[in-house]
Amino acid sequence: MSTLSELPPGMRAMLEQSWAETFRREVFERLDEKAFAVLYGEANSRPNVPVNVLFCLEVLKSGFGWTDEQMYQAFVFDLQVRYALGYENLGDGYFAIRTVYHFRDRLSKHMQTSGENLVERAFEQITDEQIKAFELHTEKLRVDSTQIASDIRNSSRLQLLVETLGRVHRMLSEHDRERYADLLGPYVERKANHYVYRLKSGQYGEKMVQIGPVMDQLLVELAADYGEQEPYHLLSRVFGDHFVWTEDEQRPKEATEVSADSLQSLDDPEATYRKKQGQSYRGYVSNISETCDPENEVQLIVKAQTESNVTDDGRMLADALPNLIERTDVDELYTDGGYNGSDLDDALDGTSIEHLASAIRGSHTPEGFFSLADFELESDDDGQPVSLTCPQGQVIAVEPGRADQRFIARPDADTCDACPLLEICPMRPRGNQRTLALYFDYHTYKVAQKRQKVATFGRSGNLRAAVEATVRSVKHPFRQGKVLVRGLFRVSCVVLSSALMVNARRLHKLATEKRSDSDLSASNSTRFALFRRFSALFARLSGRSLFRSLKARFARQSERLVATGPFHIFAPC
C-alpha cells in the first residue's frame, strides 16, 4: 500500500489536480534520459538515482527559488514534490544531497569538454514535445532580454586587487611564502575588506599606486613555477584590467579606462559589468524567446540564452536564429529597439523572417528634416536598393557606389530646385558636396526600412509587450534578480530551469481552466436534467384538483397585481 492510497478520496483528487500532476505529466514524464547517458560509464557507474529525478529537482529549485537545503527537505518531506517526481511513498527513493552535487559536477565537466549544455538540450526537447502536444503555432515569436546578477559581492577596485594578492599568497609554497613575506605581508595579514575599511581619507589612490609594482614583480618572478595555475592567471588579468604598464608609463587606470568586461569577482571570472539606464549590473544577461500567436491557447518559452552582460541583444538573437528556425516555423520576430545591428541583419538576410521592432536604437534625424526612411524604398530580390521615391513623388534610381555595399541616388536637379522641401531634404548639398545626391550604405538602408516598419508597428496590436511579463516570471524566484550560483554555465542552467517551470505553470493554469469549464458544463447539464424532471412531474400532478385550484388562484392574483399594483407597466397593450 502506498502513501497516496492512504489519502482520503478528496485529498487524492486535490493532489491530482494540483501543479504537481501537471509537472509530473508535462516535465518529469517527458524528459528523455538517454541524452544524459554520456555522463555515466557502462560499467559500475550507473546512477543510483534516476536522472529525471535529479534534473527535475533542479527545475523545482530554480522555479521556487529554493536553496539546496530547502530543495532537499522538500524532496524528503513534501508529498506534492515527491508526487511530481514520480514517487508515491514517502520512504522511496532516498539519497544523500551530495548526489545532486555530483550530478551538477558531471554536467559542468561535460560542458567544458564537449561544449554541450545538456540542460539546454533537455529544455528544448521537453518544450518541443509540449508545443506538438498542444498544437501551438510558432510562426510568431517575441523576444526580450534581462539582466541576471551573479552571486558575487560588489567590491571596490582596491579590494579586488588585495583579494587577488591573497589568492596568489595561498598558491605559493612554504618556501616562497617566506621569500615574499615582506612584499605580500601588508596585503595578507587581514581580509581584503578589512584592509580597505582601515584606510584613511585620501589613502585609496596612494595604495592603488603601491600595488602596481608589487603585481608587476610577481608576474615576472612567478611565471616559471606558477604560470599554469589559476591564481597566476587571475593576477595577470586583474593587473591588465586596472593598470597601464609600459616602458614610458606605469600607473593605475582611471575608472573610465577600465573595460566593462574586466574581472568583477575572483569567484566568477565570466561575470562582467554593464551600466544600463543609469543602473549598474554585474553578472549576465538572459535572452528569452516565446511564442505569441493570438490563436494559441497558451504561449510557451522556446529559447532561453545566457551570456556575459556586455553581449549585445542583437548578437544573442542572431546566435539563436539557426536553432529557432530549426525548431519552429518562425516568420515574424517581435522585439524592442535593442535588437539591431549588422550581426542580426546578416543573420536575417536570406530568410523570409520579418523583424518587427518597437523602436530603433541609435541617432535620429533632427526634427523637421527628412531622412531616408521618409522615402518609398524599392529593393530587388536580393534586398539591394533599386530606387527611391521622395515625398514629392520623384522616382530616383539608385546606383552602386565605388565601395562595396555603398549606393548613390542622383535626383533630377531641375525638379529638386523647384521643390519647396529642398531645404529639409537629405538630397540637398552639404559640406563640400556641390551636386544634389544622397550617399548611403547598405546598413543605413536596412535601418531606414526598419524605421518604416516601426511607424506601423502598433496598428495591428503590439504582440511584443507581454514578453516583459514573461521575463518577470522567469526572474521572480530569484532574490532581487540575483541567482544563488556563479559562473556562466551554472547561471545558464538556473535560467533554463526557471523558464521550464514558467511553462509548466502556464500549462497547469490551462488545465485548471479547462477543468473548470468542463465542471461548469457538467453542472449546467445536471441542473437542466433536474429541471426537466421537475417539469414533467408538475405536468402529471397539475391535472389534480388541488393543483387546478392553486393554478386558478395564482392566475387571479396575477391579474389584480397587473391591473392595480406597481406591476401595471408590464401589462400587455
Q: Which domains does the chain have, with CATH numbers?
A: 1-116 (no CATH), 119-152+275-358+466-528 (3.30.420.10), 157-257 (no CATH), 372-458 (no CATH)
pTM of the model: 0.79
CA-based torsion, 110, 111, 116, 119: positive or negative: positive
Q: What is the pLDDT of residue 553?
A: 66
Nearest to 164 by CA among 120, 224, 90, 230: 230
Per residue, the 3-state secondary structure of 153-167, as one string, reads CCCCHHHHHHHHHHH
Mean pLDDT by 10 residues, the chain (573 residues): 83 93 97 93 69 97 96 95 92 92 96 96 98 97 94 87 94 95 91 81 87 96 96 96 94 92 91 84 95 96 96 94 96 88 86 83 74 90 89 92 91 90 86 80 85 68 85 93 92 97 97 81 62 61 54 63 48 39
Per residue, the 3-state secondary structure of 198-241, as one string, reads CCCCCHHHHHHHHHHHHHHHHHHHCHHHHCCCHHHHHHHHHHHH
444 CB-near residues (< 8 Å, 6+ apart)? 372
Give yes or no for a contact between 264 and 115, defined as CB atoms under 8 angstroms apart: no
Residue 252 β-bridge partners = 243
301-308 vs 332-335, strand pairing mode? unpaired
Q: What is the pLDDT of residue 155?
A: 80
